[in-house]
């Protein structure tokens, strides 16, 4: 039933076609893009995600309470908070493995937290190239992923089961998006960013760096790798 609802919503709203670009309003404020956001969002950001929640956000607000139970958001949010998150923020429903549906050189900031590892390596590489394309010259990207170095340290400390089940063989029958398809440490991700053309690549700390709104956007300080780079 849930799959039928998703397909109906996609049909009714019009799924973005390959290569189709979305026009976003530009003004005096910086253009900030949050990729694979889930419901970790911040006021003033453009949030692009392939989840059901992002799709529901595109529906009339009167339907948000109706869809609340179907999305699984009740595990983490009250109905009031869920409706507020969808109604007060700008979402674009899109499968990011197909690229970013924005024009060239439009973004001042691109942020992605704990999403890249859910893509196959080739899809992740293509997405990072897309990040470079949509960023303005001098624009900043910040990527947060589970740190491979931390995961390996769990093996060394005898926490083999935790390492395997949380980072390498994630099982969640509620969503295929939950599974990890690749892992990165600072060196692996830095090499990719350099090859694409990014500069000034720096390892940052939790809620520390040049990206705005980190108090709202950063999470999981224990096991995360935080990297910032400029176009």
Report pLDDT for 154.
77
What percent of the chain is modeled with pLDDT above 70?
85
pLDDT in tens, 92-139: 999 998 999 999 999 999 999 999 998 999 999 999 999 999 999 999
Higher-confidence residue: 27 or 86?
A: 86
Report pLDDT for 194.
98
69 pLDDT band (50/70/90 cuts)? confident
DSSP state of 164: I
Report pLDDT for 175.
56
Higher-confidence residue: 201 or 180?
A: 201
pLDDT in tens, 191-214: 999 999 999 999 999 999 999 999
Report pLDDT for 100.
96
What percent of the chain is modeled with pLDDT above 90?
59
Quote the pTM value: 0.87
Residue 2 has pLDDT above 90, yes or no: no
Report pLDDT for 13.
47
Instruction: Tokens for 95, please give them.
Output: 């499968």
Report pLDDT for 83.
92
With contact defined as beta carbons under 8 Å apart, do 215 and 207 qualify? yes
20-54 burial, b at 16+ Cβ within 10 Å, e below that, comes to: eeeebeeeeeebbbbbbbbbbbbeebbbbbbbbbb
Burial class (CB in 10 A: 0-12, 13-18, 19+), 200: exposed
Residue 5 has pLDDT above 60, yes or no: no
């Amino acid at each position: 039933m849930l799959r039928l609802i998703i397909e109906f919503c996609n049909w009714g709203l019009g799924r973005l076609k390959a290569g189709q670009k979305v026009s976003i309003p530009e003004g005096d404020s910086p253009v900030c893009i949050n990729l694979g956001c889930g419901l970790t969002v911040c006021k003033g950001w453009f949030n692009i995600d392939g989840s059901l929640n992002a799709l529901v956000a595109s529906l009339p607000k009167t339907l948000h309470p109706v869809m609340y139970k179907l999305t699984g958001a009740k595990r983490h949010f009250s109905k009031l908070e869920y409706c507020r998150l969808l109604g007060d923020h700008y979402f674009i429903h899109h499968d990011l493995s197909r690229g970013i549906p924005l024009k060239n050189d439009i973004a001042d900031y691109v942020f992605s937290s704990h999403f890249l590892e859910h893509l196959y390596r080739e899809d992740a590489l293509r997405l990072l190239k897309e990040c470079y394309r949509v960023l303005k010259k001098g624009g900043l990207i910040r990527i947060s992923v589970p740190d491979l170095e931390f995961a390996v340290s769990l093996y060394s400390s005898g926490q083999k089961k935790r390492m395997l089940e949380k980072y390498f063989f994630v099982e969640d029958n509620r969503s295929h998006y939950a599974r990890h398809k690749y892992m990165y440490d600072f060196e692996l991700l830095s090499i990719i960013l350099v090859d694409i053309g990014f500069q000034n690549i720096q390892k940052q700390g939790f809620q520390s760096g040049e990206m705005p709104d980190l108090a709202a956007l950063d999470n999981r300080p224990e096991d995360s790798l935080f990297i910032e780079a400029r176009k």
